[in-house]
Amino acid sequence: MKIGLTLSGGGARGVAHIGVIKALEELGLEFSIISGTSAGSIIGAMYAYGYKPLHILEIIKEISIFKSVRPAWNWSGLLTMDGMKDLLFKYMPNNSFEKLKIPLTIAATEIRIGEIRYFNEGELIPAIMASCTIPAVFSPMVLKDGLYVDGGVFDNLPAKVIRGKCDFVIGSHCNQIPREFDPKNMKVVIERTLLMAINANTQISRNYCDVFIEPTGLGKYGSFEIGKAQEIFDFAYAYTKENFQRNSFSFLV
């Protein structure tokens, strides 16, 4: 039985994936292939590289978006993720899809032609950075074959791309939109608008999942609240433990 795991984008809420993975591991699940977008690509890469969930949590706290971004000083006037690149190289020095212990596919959006692209070979870290390049926040990521922004624009939960490569797909989604909204400033308006646009393609992608895990109430955490990483992890872990047992997965019964 080949089990696939697909991890959505969601900024700081992506820490929820670590809690979900830990809970699933404790049920005895092992994954044959992983896919991820944006924050999900970071968690997926770390896990596929061989790090255990609690170690990934500690790494993510260090890779905080606020510690890692730098002024771009270029035509865009936006931010770059050079600091994040340095930290990713620190923990994944092999920088190769082929060196991963579990096959991984990462989604990113080619902005010039408006298409989703999937990376599963060659250099790993540039693909992660491309997938994490949030529009209007970071400068687009230049790779040899194009100009890239966040994969969530077209495929925030890349389940379809691995559906034919496994027997069972588990989707972990952390990009929940809260029903309560206070438009107190332009930042939160832009964030919510982007979440709503991204959520549309997630509703299509979830149909490719046999089990879909979306911790109820996760929307109360903001996309940039990495300071609440431990709380987000604990929340998602407890939710998964409470709502998914062995009988949730037919092949384990």
Q: Which residues are catalytic?
A: 38, 150
SS3 63: coil
Per residue of the chain (253 residues), give pLDDT as tens. 899 999 999 888 999 999 999 999 999 999 999 999 999 999 999 999 999 999 999 988 876 544 444 444 454 545 667 778 888 999 999 999 999 999 999 999 999 999 999 999 999 999 999 999 887 777 888 888 899 999 999 999 999 999 999 999 999 999 877 666 566 776 667 667 777 777 778 888 999 999 999 998 888 887 777 788 999 999 999 999 999 988 888 776 5
Beta-bridge partners for 107 = 37, 118
The predicted model scores a pTM of 0.90
| Listed residue (6, 4, 2, 1) closest to 204, CA to CA | 6
H runs (alpha helix) in 52-107 = 53-62, 65-68, 82-91
